[in-house]
Each structure stands twice: as structure tokens, then as C-alpha cells.
Amino acid sequence: MRRRDLLQGLAATSLMAGAPFADAAEITPLRRVRPGDATWPTQSQWRNLDHLVGGALIRPSSLYGACGADPSGEACASILPELRNPFYISDQAGGTQVSGWLDAWQPAVSPYAVAARHTADVVAAINFARRHNLRVTVKGGGHSYQGTSNAPDSLLIWTHPMRRVLMHEHFVPAGGGYRGPAVTIEAGALWMDAYDVVTTQGGRYVQGGGCTTVGVAGHIQSGGFGSLSKRFGTAASNLLEAEIVCADGGVRLCSERRHPDLFWAIKGGGGGSFGVITRVTVKTHDLPENFGWAVGKVKASSDAAFQSLIAQFMRFYTESLFNPHWGEHVSINPDNTLELSIVSQGLSDAEAKAVWAPFLAWIAASPQDLSSADEILVGCRPARLWWDTEYRRTHGDSMHFDPRPGAPAHNAWWSGDGDQVSMFLYGYDSVWLSQSLLRGAGRDQLAQALFTASRAMDVGIHFNKGLAGAPADVLTDARNTAMNPDSLDAFGLAIVATGGPPPYLHIPGFPYDDRRARADAAAVARAAAAIRTVAPNGGSYVAESDYFNRNWREASWGSNYPRLARAKRKYDPNGLFIVHHGVGSEDWSPDGFSRSLVRL
């Protein structure tokens, strides 16, 4: 088939997108094909696919190959600095932002990948995979902690080359229902690509991820919390329209009024489960005058003083920070420190300092019990400068920059996010914390549970990853997404996680200690269990959850799961898109290759 014929077929499927799947019963595979199987595509067939996608078929390579072969060699030494650069990693088809999870997954390079530059490339890849019964993997930013953008023996659909960002003053989604400012972002873009265009250049705000290197499409499909979600909602709740290529190869332009069931499902239903998103359009908002911060550490001299500090901070949070102006998180640590990493929007420098003055005065009044391990800084700056890398370079604060020659000037990441780059996870869990825990005796019980949990492991409370305290319109829009409804009642998300060097590399200076790794994993479990004493039924954020959670459907989506399952059966009846703990994965083996229950 010539590329022109493919494009003509693509246009036809776009017009027919409302029709039932013509080939939904074409195959009902019991086992996907692997390399070496008799029905694995021939070299001639792979060359034909390469022709269809205009030479975009590639053979990915491992990021760790040189170090695995010779950890002390020059080739390994040259690659090590790149493994701390998240933009380098995202530019590699074989890259993942974290390097695996203990007893869960390790990076696995697909034998072939389509480096999609256009929607037509995605269509060709999906049709090829379906006809040859291949395992499919989809990757944009590669940020999945669960390893869902990574699978051995699969055909990888890599959307990273699709990076365009286009702003609109008066956008109307398919079917209407909205007319206003918006931005269209292709599926391979990272949020920093969008922030540069929308805020730094355009002077508006788009709700995306706090981490600049998170992929836009995957973030939206996970729900999409950002630093200021209590004011602007989630990325999913701001979605207006999405183009998605489904398992039949059909291209569907989805919105609130066109394919609403599929549109709802991709708003928090999990990445890689319903098709391949090729572009999204989301609302943009008026940019606040200022963004701000409150950062630093408070050290307690004893366990009793630390318990008092936790209780006092939760009281202060309830009375002064539990509103749309404030976001991000604090960390409650085993060494009896409270670490502040808070951001704000819409306040002047004087207003922000006035909010924090009572809490800082309380700390200063007990010098025998409390001290500022790192000076607590509260301030603001013009919001348009927040992601302005030219400004950040000259002011030398908070960001690291991509050092590669020719890298885009806006390639930068927050200093606090650097530790997770190439980290091998030992344990990870999250729990929604109901706003009822901020009232009466619940707050004292919460403070005690947080202290107990911190004896085992650092505990992060991410206030921006709970929507309680948000305006009514934000809650209304978020209620119309597939995220776990627990997030609407939660004032925050407790996260307990740890990691270190991967076990499969033996690089001098980066030793892996299996005993320590397993002890840390057990400590994460103990800390999470302590938090669940006050949140026994709290769900988890699908993007940041326990890989081994047996109740993953209830934890990730709660009462929304049956509706998601119906959408899955409608748009992917043969399970072309299967990821770990994704919608419909209960019908498949853990590796996604064998169907354990056939649905006809």
C-alpha cells in the first residue's frame, strides 16, 4: 500500500468514526505473537510497514547496554551523565524515566518501534499490530512508574516526535459546547513544551503536571494533577477534545458531544488502554499576576516536639492553606524534620508572607524544641516568569537545564524532581486523605498517623492532588472525569516511596544493596499501613500507586470502573491495548500476551 492510499483510508475512517467496528471480530487471539514464533512478521512485512510510515520504523536500543556490558568502560562512563537528564531519556525510544521497580518490572526494549510523526503513522502501526497479532506498547514521555509504556517483544508506538503546540483564541470542540481560549498539543509533547508556548510566550495558563518532563497525553489519561489543581482543576477536567486512534485503526475526534463515552474514559481512565491519543486540546486560563513559594525545613529536637509540630502544621494548613491559592506538598521525615515545598497563585508577596507569619512565629516561640534546618523562604514573582528558562538561567535558582548542544532552550526541570530520574523504585504507595480528617478529633488522629508512618519512611502530603477546597466549578468539571471520586473529597494525597540504583547495573560508585532495597520496600508498606489506619478505604492515584495492589480497580477508579469496562469492551473488544492494572487487564496474563478469559 502506498502512503497516499493510507492517508485516503485515514480520511475515510475519520468520517466513519461513529460506525460500529467493521473488524471487531476479525481476531480473538488467545496469545500474542513473539519473536521466533512461526507467525512473527517476516522481514519483508516489516519493510512494508517501514514504507507505509515513511521510514519511521526503528530498532530501539537500551539506555543501559554499554554499562551492562562493561560497567567500568569508557562507553559506560560517557552515558552516565545522560542518565540524569530526563530530556535525554525522553528522546530515546528505549528510555523510561525511572529504571524499573523491585520484583515488578525492568526496562525492556521493543524489537521494533514506529516513531510516529503523523496520525497516519499511528494508524499504520495499529493496523499492522492487529493483523499480525502483536503486543502493542504506547509511549510519549515514558514517565510511567508502573512500566506501562514498556514491554518486551512488543511493537512500540512512540509518539514522542509529535511535539507541536498551537494556541487558539476562540476554539470550538467537535460538536460544540464551548467557545474560548484553548491550546492544541500533540501527543509526544512534554508539559514544558506547553508551558513555554502558553505561559512564557503567550501569557496564559494551562493546567498540566508539576514535573516539567511529564508527557501531556499520558498525564491527561491518568487524571492529570498539577501544582495548582485546587484552583484550575486537573488536566483531564480541562480537556475539550482529543484525537484518538482506536483498535480498529479508526480515527475518532472525541469531545463532550462526540463519542462521549470514549471521551470520558480517556479523562483519567489510564494511559495505553483505549487507543493511541495523537493530539489533545485543553482550556487555557487567565494567568494570575503572581506565582509564589514557601520552602524550607523545620527540625524538631524530640519525638514529642515533632508530634506537636505535625499537629500544629495541620491546624495551620486547615485554617490558612486549605483553599485555591495553595498547592504542592510537605514531607514528614524520620529525622523529625518537616520539609516545605509549597507553591501559591494569585497572591502578592506581602499577602503570602502575611499568611505564613503566624506559623513562623509559632516556630520562633519554641527555640528549644524547633529550629529552621533550612531557612523558610516565602515569596512571589510574576507568573509569566515561572517557566521562563532565560530568566531562570540568569537568576540561578530552582532549575536544571539540558546541557546537550542544540537542545531547546526551554528544556529544564525542577531541582526537586532530579532524584527520580533513572531511579529504580523499591516501593511506592499512595492514599487519598478525606477532608473530614481536618476537622475535630480527625485532625489529631491524622497527625498521630503521620508521625507513626514517618518512623518507617518519609511521608509526602500532596495537597494539590486532592480537590477538596477547590471552587464549585472545578469540582463539577472534575466530577465528569473517570478519576476515582475519592479525589473530590480529598484534601490531599499521601505518598510513600523510595528507591535507589538498579540491580542490573554494577557501576562503580552506584552499588545496589538487595537487603537494603527489600528493607526499604517493607518500610514503605509499614508507613502506608499506618496512614490507612485513618483512611482505611482511601483509594490511590492511578499514576502514583502500588504496583502490587490486588484491589487496583477499586483503588484507582472506585465506582467508575464498571463504566470504564464498558467503554473498553466497546472500543477495544479484543484487548489490543493492555497495560499493567489497566482497564480490561484482568482478562489477560500479567505480561499482556495471553488471554485468560475470552469475551465474545
Q: Tell me if 319 is assigned to some domain.
A: yes
- Please tell me the distance from the alpha carbon of residue 445 to that of residue 433, in angstroms, as a whole number: 12
Cell (9 digits) for 358: 503566624
Is the pLDDT at 427 greater than 60? The verdict is: yes
Contacts of 74 (CB under 8 A, 6+ apart): none
The pLDDT assigned to 72 comes to: 83
Is the pLDDT at 323 greater than 80? The verdict is: yes
Residue 273 and residue 372 share a domain = no
Residue 90 and residue 23 share a domain = yes
Task: Report the CATH number at residue 240.
Answer: 3.30.465.10
Closest CA to 477 of 242, 261, 256, 237: 237
pLDDT top residue among 67 and 231: 231
Q: Count the domains in the chain.
A: 3
Q: Tell me if 128 is assigned to some domain.
A: yes
The pLDDT assigned to 100 comes to: 96
Q: Tell me if 572 is assigned to some domain.
A: yes
Q: Tell me if 464 is assigned to some domain.
A: no
Q: Tell me if 437 is assigned to some domain.
A: no
Residue 38 and residue 58 share a domain = yes
Beta-strand runs (E) in 214-320: 239-245, 251-255, 276-283, 285-286, 290-300
Contacts of 102 (CB under 8 A, 6+ apart): 424, 425, 426, 427, 503, 517, 518, 521
Contacts of 205 (CB under 8 A, 6+ apart): 198, 199, 232, 284, 285, 286, 287, 288, 383
Residue 122 and residue 9 share a domain = yes
Query: Domain limits at 205?
Result: 165-286
Q: Tell me if 244 is assigned to some domain.
A: yes
Task: Report the CATH number at residue 376.
Answer: 3.30.70.100
Query: How buried is 539 (Cβ within 10 angstroms: 0-12 exposed, 13-18 middle, 19+ buried)?
Result: buried
Cell (9 digits) for 81: 551523565
Average pLDDT score, the chain: 93
Residue ending a domain, among 322, 355, 383, is 383
Residue 319 and residue 190 share a domain = no
Task: Report the CATH number at residue 13.
Answer: 3.30.43.10
Residue ending a domain, among 383, 407, 422, is 383
The pLDDT assigned to 64 comes to: 87
pLDDT top residue among 73 and 315: 315
Residue 232 and residue 89 share a domain = no
Is the pLDDT at 10 greater than 50? The verdict is: no
Residue whose cell numbers read 477534545: 241
Closest CA to 253 of 114, 158, 162, 119: 119
Q: Are 62 and 122 in contact (CB under 8 A)?
A: no
- Please tell me the distance from the alpha carbon of residue 223 to that of residue 237, in angstroms, as a whole number: 8
Q: Tell me if 74 is assigned to some domain.
A: no
Residues 111-129 pLDDT 10s: 999 999 999 999 999 999 9
Q: Tell me if 468 is assigned to some domain.
A: no
pTM: 0.93
Contacts of 171 (CB under 8 A, 6+ apart): 178, 179, 180, 181, 182, 184, 240, 281
The pLDDT assigned to 29 comes to: 54
Residue 324 and residue 199 share a domain = no
Each residue of 282-293: b (16+ CB within 10 Å) or e? bbbbebbebbbb
Residue ending a domain, among 286, 304, 326, is 286
Residues 527-558 pLDDT 10s: 999 999 999 999 999 999 999 999 999 999 99
Contacts of 495 (CB under 8 A, 6+ apart): 329, 428, 429, 430, 459, 460, 461, 462, 544
Highest mean pLDDT (candidates 18-22, 77-81, 249-253): 249-253
Residue 16 and residue 149 share a domain = yes
Cβ neighbour number for residue 243 with a 10 Å cutoff: 22
The pLDDT assigned to 28 comes to: 56
